[in-house]
Amino acid sequence: MKKLVILIEGSKTKTFPFLKSLQKRFYDYYGVDIKNSDWCKVLQNYLLENNIETKIFKWNGRISSSSILNASKTLAEFIDRLAERCDEITIFSKSLGGIVAAKSVGFCLKKDRIRKIIFVATPHRNKKLLLPTHTRIINVYSPDDKYLHLANNVLNLGLGSIRIINARNIPLNNVRHSEFNKNILIKCNNRKIRLFHFYKDIITN
């Protein structure tokens, strides 16, 4: 059985020279890395070392309804093409990339191939996601992620949720927003584990 993981990055930070000092204080406070590191590629290499085939979906990362909608439609086409040679697809999405992933399912012609969607630090608009019943939903978040709470207040007018009713919710304490991009040591279920190893476990199990 052919399996594939699609990695989707989140929004990209933008800095302006005349606001550099102010923006640095803002992003430092909310735990956001302004360097926009290519963490998807690093994670892809880690997964490939563990014999997990992956593809990266790139989009412009702009925080706007039109950008998210266009990216969702493009992602759906990307999934449909890959589904022609895959039996099972797992989508792994970070932050705003999770919104793109959720929206894309509605445009997919071969949504029956999507076995699992993993959301990491995603500001969900609704507490329940309208996704196919055969698709497992895993929602990873940190209660200490200030940027995630800010996104829910700004993007979802304070009505969003960091937890999902119809998902397996996994809270990771003391993890800042950009730290979800790094292979740091975390604590989960009373044991210490590297973050990318944790990702591998939830992708494969």
Gap between the terminal Cα atoms of the chain = 15
> Which residues touch 195 (CB under 8 Å, ≥6 apart)?
179, 180, 182, 183, 184, 185, 186
Contact by Cβ (8 Å): 80, 110: yes
Q: Yes or no: say if 63 and 33 are a contact pair by the CB < 8 Å rule.
A: no
Confidence at residue 15, expressed as pLDDT on a 0 to 100 scale: 60
How much is the pLDDT for 18?
60
The SS3 assignment for 3 reads strand
Q: Which domain holds residue 53?
A: 3-204
Count of domains in the chain? 1
What b-and-e string marks burial along 53-69, b requiring 16 or more CB atoms within 10 Å of the CB? ebbebebebeeeeebbe
- Looking at residue 79, its amino acid is I
pLDDT of residue 169: 98
pLDDT by residue for the chain (205 residues), tens only, comes to 699 999 999 987 666 666 667 878 877 888 887 776 789 999 999 999 999 999 999 999 888 899 999 999 999 999 999 999 999 999 999 999 999 999 999 999 999 999 999 999 999 999 999 999 999 999 999 999 999 999 998 888 888 899 999 999 999 999 999 999 999 999 998 899 999 999 999 999 9
Unique residue bearing structure tokens 């969003």: 160
- One-letter amino acid at 136 equals R
Q: What's the CATH number where 83 sits? A: 3.40.50.1820
Pair of tokens at residue 161: 């949720």
Which one, of 132, 77, 71, lies nearest residue 96 by Cα? 71
For position 157, what pLDDT does the model report? 83
